[in-house]
């Protein structure tokens, strides 16, 4: 996912800081999580991003200044980071709950955003399955079948 195309550099760096903090919550940073962070940094135009744990509070404050729609996008994208390793730990859940509060989002909205992200992951998985599947046994042609005698 990447719904953050409108972000200026300061917002993009704040988002990346929160994402890096979130993927470190469970104490394990996988190669996949690192790759995802790099992909987001590139997509957001932030070259050479490095995580600074001391900047997390300022990053939350920056995100809290966004409009409601952008805050929701941030929450949904960060939820995706929490699940990027395939599991949600209690530490990540706590961090997501704190983020919901820091962004002053309604908890019901956060749950709906999570459900949307889960649905999107399911669709992504289905697409990957279909792309990797064996070719269909159905053959489509533009020829009419021969008339029966």
CATH code of the domain covering residue 28 = 1.10.3680
**Rounded-to-integer distance, Cα 149 and Cα 132, Å:** 41
**99 in any annotated domain:** yes
* pLDDT band, residue 88 (cuts 50/70/90): confident
Lowest mean pLDDT among 25-34, 45-54, 87-96: 25-34
**129 in any annotated domain:** no
> Do residues 19 and 37 make contact, with C-beta atoms less than 8 angstroms apart?
yes
pLDDT, the chain, mean: 87
> Do residues 74 and 63 make contact, with C-beta atoms less than 8 angstroms apart?
yes
**90 in any annotated domain:** yes
Alpha helices by DSSP H, 25-142:
31-43, 56-64, 68-83, 90-102, 107-132
User: What pLDDT, in 10s, does the model give residues 51-77?
Assistant: 999 999 999 999 999 999 999 999 999
Instruction: Show the domain range for 43.
Output: 9-124
**140 in any annotated domain:** no
Count structural domains, the chain: 1
């Amino acid at each position: 996912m990447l719904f953050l195309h409108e972000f200026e550099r300061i917002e993009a760096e704040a988002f990346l800081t929160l994402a890096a903090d979130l993927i470190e919550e469970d104490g394990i940073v996988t190669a996949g999580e690192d790759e995802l962070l790099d992909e987001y940094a590139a997509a957001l135009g932030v070259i050479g991003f490095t995580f600074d744990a001391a900047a997390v509070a300022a990053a939350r404050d920056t995100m809290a200044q966004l409009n409601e729609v952008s805050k929701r996008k941030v929450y949904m994208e960060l939820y995706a980071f929490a699940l990027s390793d395939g599991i949600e730990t209690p530490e990540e859940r706590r961090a997501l709950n704190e983020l919901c509060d820091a962004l002053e989002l309604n908890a019901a909205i956060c749950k709906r955003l999570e459900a949307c992200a889960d649905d999107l992951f399911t669709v992504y998985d289905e697409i990957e399955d279909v792309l990797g599947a064996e070719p269909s046994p159905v053959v489509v042609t533009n020829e009419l079948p021969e008339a029966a005698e």
